[in-house]
Amino acid sequence: MRRRLFIGLFILTAISLGGYQNVFASTQEKEKDATHNEGEKAKFNTVDFIFEHIGDSYEWHVLTIGHTHVSIPLPMILYSEQKGLNIFLSSKFHHGAESYKGFKWEHEGKYKGKIVELNDNGEILEENPLPWNFSITKLVLSIFIASTLLCWIFISIARKYKSGVNKAPTGIQNLFEPIILFVVNDIAIPSIGEKKYQRFLPFLLTVFFFIWFNNMLGLIPIFPGGANVTGNIAVTMVLALFTFVIVTINGNKNYWGHIVNTPGVPWFLKLPIPIMFIVEFAGILTKPIVLMIRLFANILAGHMVAIVFFSLIFIFGGIAVWAGYTISIVSVSFSFFMTLLELLVALIQAYVFTLLSAIYIGMATEEHHH
């Protein structure tokens, strides 16, 4: 069993290295295009390579064969006052060198990575250069894929429970039931209490599996994986805001009483300057910030460290070919270790986010004890 596990993880690492190689080839090709007119030799840029992998994009890069790039174009949905609503595929942009319908995908300068609007002379508009952008990016599509996968799995499990009452779980139901019971018995009930946990259980289960599934998909850098969803601070911010809204709405009289008029605190800390209120109110705001940054930083760091190890091959290879081959042994070994570590981190971060959310909810709904 252990041998099969290590073989599987080694294959996953090999696939990951292949995926990084595709991103590297794509990055190198862009650098060659940028320096072609000057006749300069393209050099490996570690920073561009890292951000190419962890960043968002309007296309999903799949494979690079020679000078041919295989990418999945994604829908562009743009609205501007001058040109109205425009819907087309990102393949209409060719390496950022061409514009389409008065829009351009910038790859350098002030608006790097953004879609800008052009005037009749082909220059960026001075006023309102950025149109309203509702495009389906790589991260958005990955969220749709993970959400669809979640719905398919748990709707199937729910149907099995309805049709097979008092029967032993089988198949996918048997796989996920221990994890669901873990969230219920070790997160929800201890943190919120047996009387109220069921009300918040759907949210906790959704958050746990959403984060876990996206973390696992992010470890596979080939379609439909490879998107750095939970390593994007906008995604973690939205997840943290969900917890913040639930805590704020469901906070009882006891919860708000401790914030507005903290019991057991001397009066001079409440009047004339409500120091304790300021401290307690700051605590309300720091809780979602902690959730947001903790998940974002841990997942992003894991991806970046793995890519840096892989980058060593091309950094040393730029110095001497034999050095690149020599360091590749160390690089692949560390990449394999990081894959093992990130498999664990993917689950731990889902657990920590769910646990902290449950604790915050439990604090907001706890009844006063006389």
Model confidence pLDDT, tens digit, residues 220-230:
877 877 788 99
Question: What is the model's pLDDT at position 269?
Answer: 60
Q: Is the pLDDT of residue 73 over 80?
A: yes
Question: Are 219 and 12 spatial neighbours (Cβ–Cβ below 8 Å)?
Answer: yes
The pLDDT tens digits of the residues spanning 338-360 come to 778 888 889 999 999 999 999 99
Measured distance CA(239)–CA(259) in Å, rounded: 24
For residues 52 and 337, give the distance between their C-alpha atoms in angstroms, rounded to a whole number: 22
Cα 47 from Cα 311, distance rounded (Å): 10
- Give the tens place of pLDDT for each residue, 39-55: 444 566 777 777 777 78
* pLDDT score of 188: 94
pLDDT tens-digit series, residues 273-328: 677 777 777 888 899 999 999 999 988 888 888 788 877 887 787 787 777 778 88
| Nearest alpha carbon to residue 348 among 216, 217, 188, 234 | 216
Question: What pLDDT was estimated at residue 202?
Answer: 93
* CA 346/CA 339 separation, integer angstroms: 10
Taking CA atoms, 302 is separated from 14, 53, 219, 237, 337, in Å, by 17, 12, 10, 19, 11
Q: Higher pLDDT residue, 323 or 19?
A: 323
pLDDT over 80 at 1, yes or no: no
Which one is predicted more confidently, 12 or 157?
A: 157
* Region 180-202 average pLDDT: 92
Contact 323, 317 (CB under 8 A): yes
Confidence of residue 34 (pLDDT cuts 50, 70, 90): very low
Q: Average pLDDT over the chain, rounded to whole?
A: 79
Q: What is the pLDDT of residue 189?
A: 93
Triad 272, 275, 277: Cα angle to 5°: 105
**When comparing pLDDT for 40 and 271, which is higher?**
271
**pLDDT attached to residue 2:** 53
Measured CA to CA in angstroms, residue 229 lies from 12, 217, 219, 295 at distances of 19, 9, 11, 11
Q: What is the mean pLDDT of residues 100-114?
A: 82
pLDDT given at position 295: 92
Question: Which residue has better confidence, 203 or 278?
Answer: 203
